Amino acid sequence: MSTTDHALAIEAAEAGAAVVRSQYGSSLTRFAKVGTDFATTADIEAEKAILDVLGAARPDDGLLGEESGRTGTGGNGRTWLVDPLCGTLNYSARTMLVSVNVALRTGTHLAVAASADPFSEEVFWTDGVASYVRRAGTDQRLVPSAESTLVDLNLDPPFPHRDAFLAARMLADDGFIAQFRPRVVSSTLAVAWVAAGRRAAYVTDGRDLRQSVHFAAGIALCEAAGCVVTGIDGRPLHAGGEGLVAAADEQTHAALLALIRRQRTERD
C-alpha cells in the first residue's frame, strides 16, 4: 500500500527532527547567508534527511528546501516546501524552541503539512481536513482556544509593511496590553501552537507567506484546525493577504486587526 501524503509529511518531518535532536549542543559549523542570517550543519543535514524521504517516495514531485533551493521536476503541480530547522538562532544558543516544517503545495493549495518539535517529540500534522498532534504514536485532534490570551509576535525582519504596521509597536499599545499577553518564541513552532490552543494568536509581517517554506506548514495546520487566518490587512492569504494573523477565534482575530488598523491610521 502506498504511503499517503500526510503520512509522508509526518515521516519526513520526524526524519529531520531526529537529526536536529541528535546534533543539539554540539559544535556546529555556521554558513553565512543574507545579512546576519546563517545556517548550520544541523540545518543542512536535517534538510538532506527530509528530502531523501520525500524524493524516495515521490520522485516526480518538486522539492523546495530552505538550504538547497528547488530540486525535482515539479511538473505534476506538486511541490514540497521544507524548512529543516526553524529557529536556527535559538538552536545555536541552545534554546529548545525550534520546529521542522514540511508542507505539500498542490497548485496554490496547501494540501498536507507536518511541523515537528524535536525536543517534545510532538508532531503537529494535517491531512487538509483536520489537524492533530502525535505524541508517542497517538494522535489527538487540535482544538484552538484563545483562553490563554497569549499572542506570539514575530519581531524578526524583514518588515515590508513597516510604514503601516510594525509588530514591535503593538507591545506598547494600551489596547493590546489590556487584552493580550505578548510572547516571542522566534520560531514558527508558535504558529502550530495556535492550532493546538497553546497560543491565542500569532502575528507577523511578511509577503506571500503561504508560499514560504517557513510558514506554509503552520498556516495549513491553523486553517485545517478552524482558526481564523488572514493577512495583516484582513484579506485571505489565498486572495493576496500579506503578513499573517492566525487567531483561535473571530473575536481575537477582530481585536488584533483593529489594533493593526489603528497603527495604520496613526501613521497616516
Question: What is the DSSP secondary-structure string of 174-221?
Answer: HHHHHH-EEE---STHHHHHHHTTS-SEEEE--S-GGG-TTTHHHHHH
How big is the CA angle at 141 (ends 105 and 243), to the nearest 5 degrees? Answer: 45
Tens of pLDDT along the chain (268 residues) come to: 479 999 999 999 999 999 999 999 998 889 888 877 889 999 999 999 999 999 999 999 999 999 989 987 767 889 999 999 999 999 999 999 999 999 999 988 999 999 999 999 999 999 999 999 999 999 999 999 999 999 999 999 999 999 999 999 999 999 999 999 999 999 999 999 999 999 999 999 999 999 999 999 999 999 999 999 999 999 999 888 899 999 999 999 999 999 999 998 876 6
Distances (CA, A) of 54 to 13, 70, 100, 159: 10, 13, 14, 33
Q: Cα–Cα distance between 33 and 39 in angstroms, integer? A: 7
Report the candidate in 47, 73, 54 with the shortest Cα–Cα distance to residue 62. Answer: 73
Determine how many CB atoms are found less than 10 A away from the CB of residue 9. 31
Distances (CA, A) of 194 to 171, 172, 215, 227, 259: 19, 23, 13, 8, 19
Global pTM reads 0.95
255 phi and psi, to 5 degrees? -65, -40
Tell me, what's the pLDDT at 75? 77
Q: What is the largest CA-CA distance in the chain?
A: 59
Tell me, what's the pLDDT at 208? 92
Report the candidate in 99, 97, 94 with the shortest Cα–Cα distance to residue 66. Answer: 99
Helix/strand/coil for 226? coil
Q: Cα–Cα distance between 103 and 184 in angstroms, integer? A: 23
Tell me, what's the pLDDT at 230? 97
Joined together, the cell numbers standing for residue 33 give: 547567508
Q: Cα–Cα distance between 61 and 251 in angstroms, integer? A: 39
Tell me, what's the pLDDT at 1? 45
Q: Cα–Cα distance between 143 and 226 in angstroms, integer? A: 8
